[in-house]
Structure 1
Amino acid sequence: MSDDHNHNHNHNHNPPHTHDHGYSHGGHAHSHAPANFNRAFAVGIALNTGFVAIEAFYGWQINSLALLADAGHNLSDVAGLVLAWAGSLAVGLKPDARHTYGFKRATILAAFANALLLLLAMGGLTWEAVGRLSAPQAALQAQGGIIMAVAGIGIVVNAVTAWLFMRGGDDLNIRGAFLHMAADALVSAGVVVAGGLTLWLGWVWLDPVVSLIIAAVILWSTWSLFTQSLHLLFDGVPASVDVQQVRALLLGLPGVADVHDLHVWAMGTSHIALTAHLVTQASDTGALLRSAEEELHEHFEIRHVTLQLETPAYAAVCGLRPGLGCQSS
């Protein structure tokens, strides 16, 4: 390899693509959140599956749309937790010759599928609730106590499940699980209130109204997850990274004269990758690379860095330089 063109230096000084157990460099240790949530997923899925059965049974018995709607939503959350768990486990699968990055993107797919599932479920709920508004179920008045008791169980189940995922907020996949469970706890509290008012004041119209409020709350909490995961699926820059700041950091490194072909994307919901061409005449390229790796890791949590070092002479003819036939960032 000539001095003019040092190509594809990988930041991890171990064999390529062994990032699944965290990264430690320059005294900074960071672990990937999904690896620690197997127990949380198992407990959360078990608790919510049991609660879905209870809520659906009593909702069917007393013909409460609020309970049936919340049961349907909680069932979709169970499916969402299963998807999120599968995505989390996929991160640990080893790369192979045909999947050289491994399967980290499964976490993004899980977050997207989770959000899409919820959006579809809430569309169906809204349709049914609007129909019920024109024909409230008068028999619900006597069943307010059952509605309150069942929803009260839901508050406990959802709050406990949300707590299990509270420490994973930096990972979109885990944060999706947390937000859904936290929203469910609030929704269950709303159902308790609706049950009380139905019992004491005879407001049977409140059952479909609460269902519509449930749908609105969940749509609001899910939309961000949906748009972020869709953005990452198309190799969008993660929200935690400002590309202009990254460019400024690289340009500020000693000996760097220019930066081009800079790309930042998410390999998974907790794995960020970067590639760039640095134009430099630095004599100690090892020190430059180490400095770049440490700064990118420290300031942006970018763990997978690939840098191409070029002399000004090589950069002048680099096919990826802006204006030389290949669009560059």
Structure 2
Amino acid sequence: MPHDHSGHDHAHHGPPADGNFSQAFKWGIILNLLFVAGEAAGGLWANSAALLSDAGHNLSDVLSLALAWGASVLAARRATERYTYGYKGITIQAALVNAALLYLALGFILWETIDHLRHPAPVNGSAVMLLAGLGILINGFTAWLFRSGQKGDVNVRGAYLHMLTDMLVSVGVVVGGALVYFTGWLWLDPVISFVILGVVGVSSWGLLRETVQLSLQAVPEGIDVTAVREFLLARPGVTQVHDLHIWPLSTRDTALTAHLVRPGQPGLDNKFLQTLQHDLEHEFGIGHSTVQLEDNMPGMGPHGCCEELVA
């Protein structure tokens, strides 16, 4: 029963693991670190829970950017005899750690916001508006840096969504600062902080769910297993498909293994395999496929496959 691995060198969808976005990660980290320092100092000076909560979230974004950048650099390293897939899987682990750090930061910010709600104090609304306005520019620019790759890599998409969310949150802080400035209602500041927490928590939930699924080697979102199975069954001469597995190698690379039953066909059909692997990559974004061809359906062994049927 022949196997074929010749399709593994096809170009993968999405941005390069460490090329175009290294500069985006670097500038995103530098700009956001400077902004976090300024926003935290301004939040303490202006006594603004909204600014402090936004600074805390921005700090978690800096850590997320650093982890994602480091993971993308490691993912670009060559495979070894021990790590035969290379280090691609670290991008999934980094995304999972980032999600955990985010919700840990949200819990801390929630605690601080409740304390400010119980003990309201005067807020410098003009300082809040100024710093949050600066946040709109910085976060908007950083999101723009990642916009072109956010559909190809969950790490890049995470960076893009975090920055875009932060920009929108900063808009909310500006509005809140203006309301406090003109109305003098001190309770508005922690209420706005609660809204920020809600927005960030809800917007990050989908990313958290996807990273958990990737860590469990679930079929990546956007790939329909039924469609893949039907696609394989429609190949010339294929009568059955079994032991079909699809899983993520990284946040942007997908692998597939399958057994195809082709009665009466050549045992080794390189043209068939090359066309199949090409089509799997271009139809479903599966760039690493291993296919076994069989001339009859094997019996099921204790592990699912593959005791040959006895005539």
TM-score if structure 2 supplies the norm length? 0.93
The answer as to 2:224 corresponding to 1:247 is no
The answer as to 2:255 corresponding to 1:273 is yes
Once the two structures are superposed, residues 101-121 of structure 1 have per-residue CA deviations (whole angstroms, 9 ceiling, x without a partner) of 011111111211111111111
Q: 1:230 to 1:311 in 2, by over 3 A?
A: same
Name structure 1 gaps, 5 residues minimum. Answer: 24-29, 318-322
User: Normalized per residue, which structure has more strand?
Assistant: 1
The answer as to 2:143 corresponding to 1:150 is no
Matches within 5 A, 1:68-87: 68-87=52-71
Counterpart of 2:265, as a letter, is A
- 1:125–1:212: 8 Å Cα contact kept in structure 2? no
- 2:110–2:197: 8 Å Cα contact kept in structure 1? yes
The answer as to 2:194 corresponding to 1:217 is no
Alignment length (residue pairs): 301
Residue equivalent to 1:34: 17
The answer as to 2:163 corresponding to 1:181 is yes
- 2:14–2:149: 8 Å Cα contact kept in structure 1? no
Residue equivalent to 2:308: none
User: CA offset at residue 18 of structure 1?
Assistant: 5.6
Q: 1:112 to 1:298 in 2, by over 3 A?
A: same
Please give the secondary structure, in 2, of the residue aligned with 1:34. coil
Measured in 1, the distance between the counterparts of 2:80 and 2:137 equals 43
Measured in 1, the distance between the counterparts of 2:44 and 2:226 equals 55
User: CA offset at residue 87 of structure 1?
Assistant: 1.5
Counterpart of 2:30, as a letter, is A
Counterpart of 1:219, as a letter, is G
The answer as to 2:255 corresponding to 1:282 is no
Measured in 1, the distance between the counterparts of 2:166 and 2:53 equals 12
The answer as to 2:96 corresponding to 1:112 is yes
Once the two structures are superposed, residues 137-187 of structure 1 have per-residue CA deviations (whole angstroms, 9 ceiling, x without a partner) of 1x21xx110110011100000000000001112211100000000000011
Measured in 2, the distance between the counterparts of 1:85 and 1:243 equals 31
Matches within 5 A, 1:1-329: 5-6=1-2, 8-12=3-7, 22-23=11-12, 30=13, 32-35=15-18, 36-137=20-121, 139-140=122-123, 143-169=124-150, 170-280=152-262, 281-283=264-266, 285-312=269-296, 315-317=297-299, 323-327=300-304
Once the two structures are superposed, residues 250-307 of structure 1 have per-residue CA deviations (whole angstroms, 9 ceiling, x without a partner) of 1110011211100000001110000011111322611221221122111101000001
Residue equivalent to 1:26: none
Measured in 2, the distance between the counterparts of 1:89 and 1:254 equals 41
Residue equivalent to 2:309: none
Measured in 2, the distance between the counterparts of 1:131 and 1:33 equals 45
Please give the secondary structure, in 1, of the residue aligned with 2:239. strand
Measured in 2, the distance between the counterparts of 1:115 and 1:296 equals 31
- 1:66–1:191: 8 Å Cα contact kept in structure 2? yes
Residue equivalent to 1:320: none
Counterpart of 1:255, as a letter, is G
Measured in 2, the distance between the counterparts of 1:11 and 1:136 equals 66
Query: Deviating runs (4+, > 4 A) in structure 1?
Result: none
- 1:11–1:304: 8 Å Cα contact kept in structure 2? no
Tell me how large the CA RMSD over aligned residues is.
1.5
More displaced, 103-112 or 127-136? 127-136
TM-score if structure 1 supplies the norm length? 0.88
User: CA offset at residue 62 of structure 1?
Assistant: 2.3
Name structure 2 gaps, 5 residues minimum. Answer: 306-311
Please give the secondary structure, in 1, of the residue aligned with 2:17. helix
Measured in 1, the distance between the counterparts of 2:115 and 2:23 equals 41
Please give the secondary structure, in 1, of the residue aligned with 2:83. coil
User: CA offset at residue 220 of structure 1?
Assistant: 0.7
Measured in 1, the distance between the counterparts of 2:82 and 2:210 equals 27
Please give the secondary structure, in 2, of the residue aligned with 1:128. helix
